Amino acid sequence: MQKLLNNFCFSDKKSGLILINLPTGTGKTHNAIEFIYENYKKVKNKIIFITNLKKTYLLTN
């Protein structure tokens, strides 16, 4: 999943939308938040992350 996010966000596209349709428990939210946390300064475009997660998600190093 990290490779998919890297390829999408660091491509030459000006904008885009990525929808990830995987089963529950595959780590979609964790991987997306981890990618944003590690790369938000490197990505040239804005990152908008929408989820229906109803709990606080904390990252720990």
User: What's the pLDDT tens digit per position in 39-58?
Assistant: 888 877 777 887 777 766 66
Instruction: Write down the pTM of the prediction.
Output: 0.62
Domain count, the chain: 1
Provide the residue range defining the domain that includes 20.
Answer: 1-61
pLDDT, averaged across the chain: 79
Mean pLDDT computed over 21-34: 87
**Among 37, 35, 44, 38, residue whose Cα is nearest residue 16:** 44
Mean pLDDT computed over 17-39: 85
Q: What is the largest CA-CA distance in the chain?
A: 34
Q: 60 pLDDT exceeds 80?
A: no
| The two structure tokens encoding residue 31 | 């991987």
Give the per-residue pLDDT at 38.
86
